[in-house]
A and B are shown apart, each in its own frame.
Chain A
Amino acid sequence: MSDINSTNPMSLGRGICIITGASKGFGRVIAHQVSRSLEPRSVLLLVARSGTLLQEMKEELQSFIEGRQLVLHCITVDLSTKEGVDETVRVARQEAVDEIEHVLLINNAASLGNISKFETFTNPDEVNSYLSLNVSSPLALTAGILQLCPCRPGLRWSVVNLSSTLALQALPSWVLYCTAKAARNMMFSVLAKEQQNVKVLSYSPGPMDTDMQKEILRVTQVNHNPLPCHESAAKLMKLLLDDDFPSGAHLDFFDV
């Protein structure tokens, strides 16, 4: 039986929420916003490479977490490695107790890759390494998380793929990024089609005021008029709370 709080439309329920790339940029901001929508005794797992930045976040969130009776774990790992993915799944498994109503995975960690003409990608190691972090890792992590607990009525599963307009639109010099985002979009579409009980959302957040965007500006000299992360995060939150998007949809900040 679901508890009265989980029928509150402004709540994600008593959940376990895993956010990758949580120490900076969009990941950091969405972590803050998600925490406000989790019911008491929910678990928040923040995954990133930087222990220092995660520790800062822990301190930022500390009193809020305590007040709301949330459990927070920071997992300092490199998700481009098997060990990183396995450790994340291990901690999640440990925390996913029977009373959990919602498993929410936000695949946000990503890298820009070299922005350069197609012809320059002559080194398979560079391409393999890029695809490993940006495609293989979210697939393996998502698969691992989906196996956390057996499906049961009342247990909600949500998987978010941080996408881009470049998952759909080809842009010169952006072959690595476009290719990986297109791959992820398809991968998550297959998942959505296979598993009716998992709500899958590919969310394209728009250009935001992050280090990634600063790098884009530096390399391409193109200013995309970035939004503040919190505006885009708020839209994602609304999508997750309203929960009426079709599973597998690719939704863009500017269209919702």
Chain B
Amino acid sequence: MSSSQRADLGRALCIITGASRGFGRTVAREMSRLVKPGSAMVLTARSGEDLRALQAELAESEAGRAGLKVQCVPADLAQMEGLLSVVSEAEAAFSEHIDHVILVNNAASLGDVSRFTRTFTEMAEVDSYLSLNVSSCLCLTARILQALPSRPGLQRSIINITSLCALQPFCSWALYCTGKAAREMMFRVLAAEEPDLRVLSYSPGPLDTEMQAVARSSTADPDLRKTFSDMFAAGQLLTCEASCAKLMKLLLEDSFTSGAHIDVFGPDHCVP
């Protein structure tokens, strides 16, 4: 049974958070190759410098030279100001010719994995973590959906970059697991509410990024830490490009069930 696949993502407006490095940056690069001329990207992260470097790179690329518009929005998404600036750039970048809005909720933090659940006695620390990893994601998505409402001929895709940690508990990863589980449910509710939206929770697998480097050096649980170190030593971490290719394929095939959790390795994967 062959799956038919569109050749491109359309004339798209892509909004990508955490776009300055790691997986987010790779998504920006790969998506830029798959969108039609007349498309636009709104890239956000805290680091203005890294965003501008990416913007320059994309401007020089084939897509850039064919007219892809790239806007950078340095912003802290946990602050109202940051949220508003991303939404307003997205509104500005939108036009009647856009037939696909793609929001990639990728920005996230690991939280302190060097400690166990029993040590999280300070509400402020947990509040701050949830604010970035859950609330900002909910509010950004809600505002984008309101700002760029449904209309005939417009597809709206909402991607949640998730993890196996959304589905399974891991020792010393209380904040990360809690945040991912919260987001997973959040997007399942969205998918259930809006059947016209294409909602995907994509779990990219263990990537060779700075986040993974922190995971393997700081994880308090010795077994989990060893699992990460062993994977790194054995060259088993995925490149962002390899994982992103799978995400792009899913988007081009566009046959996933809205609200589904799809892992880069498929259903039996068991390492975050």
Contacts and interface: CB of A to CB of B under 8 A. Distances in A.
Say whether A and B bind each other: yes
Contacts of A3: none
Nearest to B129: A136
Given A127-B139, A146-B118, A179-B185, A173 B130 contact: no
A224 interface: no
A187 B177 contact: yes
A136 B127 contact: yes
Contacts of B184: 182
Interface of B: 78, 80, 83, 116-124, 126-127, 130-131, 134-136, 138-139, 141-143, 145-146, 166, 169-174, 177-186, 188-194, 221, 259
19 contacts: A118-B189, A132-B123, A132-B130, A140-B126, A143-B117, A143-B120, A170-B188, A178-B186, A179-B185, A179-B189, A183-B185, A186-B166, A189-B169, A190-B170, A190-B171, A190-B174, A190-B178, A191-B117, A194-B116
Contact of A180 (B121, B136, B171, B182): B182
Contacts of A144: 121
B117 A122 contact: no
Contacts of A186: 166, 169, 177-178, 180-182
Contacts of B259: 170
Interface in A34-61: none
A232 B190 CA distance: 31
B105 to A, nearest CB: 13
Contacts of A225: none
A146 B183 CA distance: 27
A182 B221 CA distance: 23
A135 B174 CA distance: 12
Contacts of B192: 170-172
A173 B135 CA distance: 16
Nearest to A195: B118
A128 B123 contact: no
- From A144, A147, A183, A195, residue with most partner B Cβ within 10 Å: A183
A92 to B, nearest CB: 13
B142 A119 contact: yes
Contacts of B170: 190, 193
B35 to A, nearest CB: 25
Nearest to A131: B130
Contact of A192 (B83, B145, B169, B173): B169
B135 A128 contact: yes
Contacts of A173: 193
B223 to A, nearest CB: 11
Contacts of A89: 121
A139 B131 contact: no
A172 B130 contact: no
Nearest to B185: A182
Given A143-B117, A146-B118, A189-B169, A136 B142 contact: no
Nearest to A89: B121
A193 B189 contact: no
Contact of B117 (A127, A136, A167, A194): A194
Contacts of A180: 182
Contact of B142 (A118, A140, A172, A192): A118
Given A179-B185, A179-B189, A187 B178 contact: yes
A85 B146 CA distance: 37
Contacts of A136: 123, 126-127, 130
Contact of B143 (A122, A185, A187, A189): A122
Interface in A190-235: 190-195
Nearest to B119: A143
B121 A143 contact: yes
A118 B117 contact: no
A139 B130 CA distance: 12
A89 B193 CA distance: 40
A119 B146 contact: yes
B120 A139 contact: yes
